[in-house]
Amino acid sequence: MRIGVLAVQGAFAEHEQVLRALGAKCFEIRQQADLSGQLDGLVLPGGESTVMGKLLRELGLFQPLWEKIESGLPVLATCAGLILLAEKISGEEGRHLGTLPVTVKRNAYGRQLGSFYTEAEMRHIGTIPMHFIRAPYVEEVRNGVEVLAEVDGRVVAVQYRNQLGLSFHPEVSGDTSVHRYFLHMCKDAGEGGHFSSI
């Protein structure tokens, strides 16, 4: 299993550490040339979505990644990564990859003083620790998007076929169950399985 981690900015190393501990091979995607090898799954990490979105375009990564996601490559997107995937960003004209039919609200809990920690149930996985850091949440879900977790009545985790989008940061929580679930998705996809929820 070879997982590409978008490494243009943000907490990409933390994802790599968790994935490696689970036995997956990881490599960093910083420019187009990095996309030449085998790719069984993609991680869009936390960071600043404005920075990552801009660098995706300027480093020639936008189109190839968009095509791979559209053709079924499993993706794990956390926080800023979720914003990159969202079809619509609340209150903004622009969007980034736009492959996940949801509307997300950026900085939905306010500034850093609004960042928080909690534990909540995630469908297919169980109760897990959730670190929300200047986090977004999902305001609206469309066509066949499955809601996997809600906190205080807000949607914070969704799955749509090959795409897993989270408001929070499993990569800093010390709990590996979300990454294990994602690697399971990658394995299924590699074996020609379908992408609907397991």
Partner 1 sequence: MDNRTEKSRYELNKELAQMLKGGVIMDVTTPEQARIAQEAGACAVMALERIPADIRAAGGVSRMSDPAMIKGIQGAVSIPVMAKCRIGHFAEAQILEAIEIDYIDESEVLSPADDVYHIDKTQFKVPFVCGARDLGEALRRIAEGASMIRTKGEPGTGDVIQAVRHMRQMNREIARVRSMREDELFECAKELQVPYDLVKYVHENGRLPVVNFAAGGVATPADAALMMQLGAEGVFVGSGIFKSGDPQKRAAAIVKAVTNYKDAKLLAELSENLGEAMVGINEQEIALLMAERGK
Is 26 a known active-site residue? no
Q: Of residues 14, 15, 26, 79, which has the active-site annotation? A: 79
Can 70 be counted among the known catalytic residues?
A: no
Q: What is the DSSP letter of 123?
A: T
Which segments of the chain are extended strands (E)? 2-6, 25-29, 41-44, 75-78, 86-89, 100-105, 116-122, 126-132, 137-141, 146-151, 154-160, 163-166
By CB under 8 A, residue 7 contacts partner 1: yes
The answer to whether residue 154 forms part of the interface with partner 1 (CB under 8 A) is no
By CB under 8 A, residue 54 contacts partner 1: yes
Told to check if 9 binds partner 1 by CB under 8 A, we report yes
Nearest residue to 79 (alpha-carbon basis) of 119, 103, 107: 107
User: Which residue of the set 15, 96, 131, 169 is catalytic?
Assistant: 169
Closest CA to 184 of 67, 79, 65, 40: 40
Candidates 3, 4, 12, 81; binder of partner 1 (CB under 8 A) is 12
Among 3, 4, 5, 8, interactor with partner 1 by CB under 8 A:
8
If one asks whether residue 21 binds partner 1 (CB under 8 A), the answer comes out as: no
Name the one range near partner 1 by CB under 8 A: 65-73, 110-118, 149-157, 184-192. 110-118
Q: Which of 88, 96, 131, 179 binds partner 1 (CB under 8 A)?
A: 131
Q: Long-range contacts for 186-191 (Cβ within 8 Å, ≥24 apart)?
A: 186/1, 186/3, 186/24, 186/40, 186/41, 186/74, 187/1, 189/40, 189/41, 189/72, 189/73, 189/74, 189/162, 190/1, 190/40
Residue 79: active-site member: yes
Q: Which of 1, 2, 35, 50 binds partner 1 (CB under 8 A)?
A: 50
* Cα-Cα end-to-end distance for the chain: 18
Binder among 27, 62, 66, 116 for partner 1 (CB under 8 A): 116
Residues in the chain: 198
Q: Which residues bind partner 1 (CB under 8 A)?
A: 7-14, 30-31, 46-48, 50-51, 54-55, 58-59, 79-80, 106-107, 110-113, 115-118, 131, 133-134, 169, 172
* Active-site residue set: 79, 169, 171
